[in-house]
Chain A
């Protein structure tokens, strides 16, 4: 029973898609597993024959329990009782080391460890790790001479591996020209050039899971007005890929609302005049703080859609979109809800500086759970943002400007601001989005709440 989520303790075999004796290809769906959150497809991590099903449909077993044996063609599956569930983490032990009875020659037990999910999400990157079960095949055959590993470990230099990961290049498609076929930086960059030039990459090996496809969207090439293309910068390329993915895959809905910022602006004035904050507090800092506070009440907006189900993130890490010379980046303020306005202001300032210097830390780029994007300083009234996957919402913020408003039957001038929420319809619906925005408006209009 594979671990299919960080908090999964047991799973139910809903259905077997293969019968005993069926051929199974690596990456093929062999069963449906129900966790307490969702029904998830389970794929094979090696090719072979489904030798024996141990856990029948409808039965629930703890994570780590053997549910079936995958064997080499022509080999018999073990007949005895399966071993006790092994400790799943951190790494799968070869069957022989765990005292597997000798009557299971040739059995290739499906090994699911921590990497199970990672592989499903990023198959290309973890290619070498996926070979890990191979030694079990050799070790379980004590009488036979040592077998060569099922697949040679790719020889890749560290920098080549890093660049390939950054650009989603499948190293198996790259021809190594270094010593003994080692893939070097030059080889990966050549592959990258080919990809940019629109040359189709060599076909994926069959085993490559389909989930890899969205990582490398093939943009349709069409005729257009003449012009020589400027090569994409790395950042441009990343933005292009991620935004296309977001727009294509996330069904957005949009809500806008007016917020009276008069009181919030006054509070900001007071804070800045007092010198109590370590740096000047911006309007955006107040909004980030307010968002973090409202997210505590509306965790649905601090969540991610996955095929396994909706993942609610325990931490609230609000991202701030920062414009750069050649694009933009949206690092997060970690644990935003636990920070004061002053701390947020200081960190936001630091993030901007480090973003421009290219010195952001990885977690600031990967741990974000919600994004605030603000073009008010440019006089923009309404900004409708594109959600940053895997997040499920983004708040676009416009300028704060004096506007006539009706209060108690009289026309008054207030500092007004338009906010726009883009939500992932797979996770939330418009009504709850409206509640979220309403709460945000009330918080900003009663800014003392930000201090409590």
Chain B
């Protein structure tokens, strides 16, 4: 199986779906002539033309609203917001329209479209360009929120997202574009709403997604090497609908859980997962569920401060050992 990058995997999915369905088109800022700010759509304009690869003005609300209308009119839009930070300008469209039209219309009007965006910090882009806001959207009924961490999942989930009859926020991560992994050529899908056990283990469960999956796998390897601890790593992959059954099954086996995410802790997804674990598998717990999140501060610019504002492998390692006490 060829090994390609996360970026290439997403690009492949887009091309295959553009080829497969004439109703699929792309719209977003700098996706055409510029080739995409993360170069995902490089060469697309030349290949597919202006009708299907549409450069937009810097008008996030119009981009998302227009995609919603186009979806209601029978198209399969894939809109792109350059980063999730800019999604705040389109929040009305995402939350008040995309997520609610089906319900408000009593089921008459579905809104099937994909909104791709990029999350995460770590590149010294400062407070306004480094947020991880995906868990905000994971709270909204009516939205599907997908967050793949590997090239294989990225391609398979994006293809599922494009074929999904509901609005999908497809969250990529800026630090993952160069990650390589095996990806089949041609068509396959990864189902939305299914978490995945990325590493089996018996001693402790680590729940992660997006960038923190790599962190979790790295820590799991170290724990096995240095402590003889076998950590099981569950990759959420979809944040809404949140599939926690594999997490529950894993905790029944390991009796311990650590959740790690790049987002802020207060009111976030890690708390939701911890709450659900104690709801569902309380009687299997052998230690309190632990969470590792970004500290509740805006992202600082200085390199040393930025490193302190993101969960690290060392922190995760220590936290796992703490739950194993």
Contact = CB atoms under 8 A, between A and B. Distances in A.
Decide if A and B touch, CB cutoff 8 A: yes
15 contacts: A157-B286, A157-B287, A158-B282, A158-B283, A158-B284, A158-B285, A158-B286, A159-B255, A159-B283, A159-B284, A159-B285, A162-B284, A179-B325, A184-B286, A184-B287
Contacts of A158: 282-286
Nearest to A185: B286
A432 B212 CA distance: 70
B180 to A, nearest CB: 39
A162 B286 contact: no
A157 B325 contact: no
Interface in A158-172: 158-162
A184 B203 CA distance: 13
Interface string B279-312: 0001111110000000000000000000000000
Interface string A178-189: 110000111000
A357 to B, nearest CB: 14
Interface residues of B, number: 8
Interface in B263-288: 282-287
Contacts of A179: 325
A161 B282 CA distance: 11
Which 9 pairs from chain A and chain B are nearest by CB? A185-B286, A157-B286, A162-B283, A158-B285, A159-B286, A158-B283, A159-B284, A159-B255, A158-B282
Contacts of B285: 157-159
Contacts of B286: 157-160, 184-186
Contacts of A178: 287, 325
A172 B21 CA distance: 67
A64 B283 CA distance: 33
A186 B283 CA distance: 15
A334 B243 CA distance: 33
Contacts of A161: 283
A158 B257 CA distance: 14
B208 to A, nearest CB: 23
Contacts of A162: 283-284
Contacts of B255: 157, 159, 185
A178 B322 CA distance: 10
Given A162-B284, A178-B287, 15 more contacts: A157-B285, A157-B286, A158-B282, A158-B283, A158-B284, A159-B255, A159-B283, A159-B284, A159-B285, A159-B286, A160-B286, A161-B283, A178-B325, A179-B325, A185-B255
Contacts of B284: 158-159, 162
A157 B257 CA distance: 13
Contacts of A160: 286
Interface string B229-259: 0000000000000000000000000010000
B282 to A, nearest CB: 5
B205 to A, nearest CB: 13
A71 B210 CA distance: 62
Nearest to A184: B286
Interface string B310-325: 0000000000000001
Contacts of A159: 255, 283-286
Contacts of A186: 286
Nearest to A179: B325
A158 B288 CA distance: 10
Contacts of B325: 178-179
A415 B239 CA distance: 63
A85 to B, nearest CB: 36
A344 to B, nearest CB: 32
Nearest to B255: A159
B290 to A, nearest CB: 12
Nearest to B284: A159
Nearest to B285: A158
A434 to B, nearest CB: 46
A159 B287 CA distance: 9
A157 B289 CA distance: 12
B277 to A, nearest CB: 11
